[in-house]
């Protein structure tokens, strides 16, 4: 989850469609393995400060532009890539930070056409935008192994045939403290490392980008992943106060209400919301009865029990009868694949750490949090909860290496600053507000944005194997926004046979692209999609 102890390696950074047809157990892809265990970095804990942060330097604000071409959907698209720093100033006009961004603008477009413009970012908080940039959306992507597994070095960058560039011009934003984005003075960093400070700085960035590039007339879209969905929902709401309306908002691996993923202690509301993800992972690793062969049916069954019966079981607490407890244990054993002893010892409440380390305990393996299909060696001599995430170690090196090669060589952006990938650029804890992380709930702002801007189309994308932001949790949140029927029609929920970064799988990346294309087309005025 996005709590630092459980999201220490956040890579993110998102009408209900039926999930993809599940493969029968004997034909499932092999388990994915990380190359080697590594302690996962922490994003925003105060005790996880990097050893040293280089002195702040005034970066050049002169954009660096290069020209390129790519084939998407059988059509050659010519575009310019611009790498630049945007100054973020105080109300008195003093520059307080610079936000690094990379923009892609299609050049072979009729002058009378008004191309859509999409802003994208990841989450963390403290993550740069390279994951969405080079995994799903941009014109180049990291070439991974089969089904998104770690390839051997040297790593390769290839044209992204699933890029969104054919549908919109793209701007990838690295918030302050990530990528090459820096506060001018170290003591100013904390101003941007809060829920509202972060949103305010990106609101200003978008306003400035539209002004400097004369794009105020473009249909605007925003896509955020993981904590980036918090940022995206806040932007959709706050941009309206600046007279800027979005045509569409995409929430990838979404989380609005942090309490909904805190399956810990007595927060009984969270345990049912992660249960269907446990079922998907247990099915994938052949830990369920042999009679359970169809993932779609399994998930439907697990979701019904999680909605109708499991909350009542937990609410009864110590008043459960022996018969009720036995029925609950039978169900949890069927859906989690865990030993009955573990379920009983944990009083019918299984958190993510227990599930990750215990499902394959007999094989001395631990699961990935961001994609529970990945496995890695468990701690020795016994599994250690949260020691590392094999689904994170599988992608960190390829993405980091190839982004640095790409930005310095292909885009010709020259700087000796380190590119902060995940958390190492934040030198103080993230400020979640008076109530702390557990109290953060962005669903109210999302609802307001949808109601106040009734033309905005919302796309929510979720992976079945994502333990960090479970798909059923996201669906539950979206179905409890209290929206009128006319607005609910603007919300589309899509699920994928993948994890937190569903686009690492080629089939899921292609499906996401198709879903995004339909989302953008639906948000444009009649005839606009053909422009």
For 180-201, the pLDDT digits (tens) are 999 999 999 999 999 999 999 9
Residue-level pLDDT at 134: 98
Position 39 pLDDT exceeds 60: no
SS3 of 158-217: the string is: EECCCCCCCCCEEEEEECCCCECCEECCHHHHHHHCEHHHHHHHHHHHHHHHHHHCCCCC
Cβ atoms within 10 A of the Cβ of 349, count?
17
Position 9 pLDDT exceeds 50: no
Residue-level pLDDT at 111: 72
Cα(144)–Cα(498) distance, integer angstroms: 15
User: Is CATH 3.90.1150.10 correct for 25-259+397-530?
Assistant: no
Cα(460)–Cα(226) distance, integer angstroms: 11
Position 389 pLDDT exceeds 90: no
Q: Say if CB 110 and CB 119 are below 8 A apart.
A: no
For 330-368, the pLDDT digits (tens) are 999 999 999 999 999 999 999 999 999 999 999 999 999
Cα(330)–Cα(155) distance, integer angstroms: 46
For 48-69, the pLDDT digits (tens) are 344 444 545 578 889 999 999 9
Q: Which residues touch 343 (CB under 8 Å, ≥6 apart)?
A: 329, 332, 333, 336, 350
The encoded tokens of residue 252 equal 């990838």
Q: What is the mean pLDDT of residues 369-387?
A: 72
Q: Say if CB 512 and CB 459 are below 8 A apart.
A: no
Cα(439)–Cα(256) distance, integer angstroms: 11
Residue-level pLDDT at 165: 98
For 425-441, the pLDDT digits (tens) are 998 999 999 989 989 99
Residue-level pLDDT at 112: 67
SS3 of 230-250: the string is: HHHHHHHHHHHCCCCCCCEEE
pLDDT band at 271 (very low <50, low <70, confident <90, very high): very high
pLDDT band at 266 (very low <50, low <70, confident <90, very high): confident
Which of these ranges, 146-160, 209-223, 290-304, 493-507, has the smallest mean pLDDT? 146-160
For 242-264, the pLDDT digits (tens) are 999 999 999 999 999 999 999 88
Sheet containing strand 32-33, strands side by side: 32-33, 374-377, 365-367
Cα(398)–Cα(391) distance, integer angstroms: 13
Which of these ranges, 14-28, 268-282, 295-309, has the smallest mean pLDDT? 14-28
Residue-level pLDDT at 57: 59
Between strands 95-106 and 169-174, the pairing is: antiparallel
Position 490 pLDDT exceeds 50: yes
Residue-level pLDDT at 386: 47
Residue-level pLDDT at 378: 78
Domain boundaries of the chain, sorted by first residue: 25-259+397-530
């Amino acid at each position: 989850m996005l709590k630092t102890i459980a999201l220490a390696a956040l890579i993110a950074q998102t009408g209900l469609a039926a999930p993809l047809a599940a493969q029968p157990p004997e034909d499932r892809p092999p388990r994915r393995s990380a190359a080697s265990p590594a302690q996962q970095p922490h994003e925003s804990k105060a005790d996880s400060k990097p050893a040293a942060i280089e002195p702040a330097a005034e970066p050049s604000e002169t954009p660096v532009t290069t020209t390129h071409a790519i084939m998407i959907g059988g059509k050659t698209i010519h575009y310019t890539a611009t790498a630049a720093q945007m100054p973020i100033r105080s109300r008195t006009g003093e520059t307080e930070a610079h936000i690094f961004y990379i923009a892609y603008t299609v050049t072979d477009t009729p002058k009378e056409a008004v191309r859509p413009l999409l802003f994208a970012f990841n989450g963390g908080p403290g993550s740069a935008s390279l994951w969405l940039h080079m995994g799903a959306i941009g014109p180049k992507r990291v070439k991974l192994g089969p089904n998104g597994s770690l390839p051997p070095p040297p790593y390769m960058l290839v044209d992204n045939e699933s890029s969104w560039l054919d549908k919109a011009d793209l701007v990838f934003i690295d918030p302050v403290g990530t990528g090459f984005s820096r506060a001018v003075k170290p003591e100013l960093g904390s101003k941007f490392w809060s829920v509202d400070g972060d949103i305010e700085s990106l609101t200003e960035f978008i306003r400035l980008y539209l002004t400097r590039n004369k794009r105020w007339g473009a249909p605007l879209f925003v896509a955020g992943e993981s904590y980036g969905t918090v940022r995206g929902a806040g932007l959709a709401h706050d941009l309206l106060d600046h007279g800027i309306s979005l045509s569409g908002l995409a929430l990838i691996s979404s989380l609005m209400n942090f309490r909904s993923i805190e399956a810990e202690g007595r927060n009984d509301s969270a345990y049912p919301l992660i249960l269907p993800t446990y079922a998907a992972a247990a099915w994938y690793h052949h830990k369920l009865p042999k009679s359970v062969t169809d993932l779609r049916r399994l998930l439907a069954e697990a979701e019904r029990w999680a909605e109708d019966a499991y909350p009542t079981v937990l609410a009864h607490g110590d008043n459960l009868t022996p018969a009720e407890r036995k029925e609950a244990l039978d169900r949890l054993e069927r859906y989690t694949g865990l030993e009955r002893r573990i379920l009983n010892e944990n009083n019918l409440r299984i958190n993510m750490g227990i599930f990750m380390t215990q499902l394959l305990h007999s094989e001395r393996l631990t699961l990935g949090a961001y994609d529970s299909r990945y496995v890695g060696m468990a701690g020795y001599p016994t599994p250690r909860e949260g020691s590392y995430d094999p689904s994170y170690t599988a992608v960190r090196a390829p993405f980091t290496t190839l982004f640095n090669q790409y930005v310095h060589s292909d885009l010709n952006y020259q700087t000796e600053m380190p590119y902060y990938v995940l958390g190492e650029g934040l030198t103080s804890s993230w400020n979640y507000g008076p109530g702390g992380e557990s109290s953060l709930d962005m669903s109210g702002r999302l609802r307001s944005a949808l109601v106040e801007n009734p033309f905005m189309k919302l796309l929510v994308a979720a992976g079945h194997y994502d333990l960090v932001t479970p798909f059923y949790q996201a669906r539950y949140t979206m179905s409890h926004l209290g929206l009128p029927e006319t607005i609910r029609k603007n919300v589309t929920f899509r699920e994928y046979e993948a994890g937190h970064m569903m686009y690492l799988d080629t089939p899921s990346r292609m499906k996401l692209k198709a879903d995004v294309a339909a989302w953008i087309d639906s948000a444009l005025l009649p005839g606009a999609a053909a422009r």
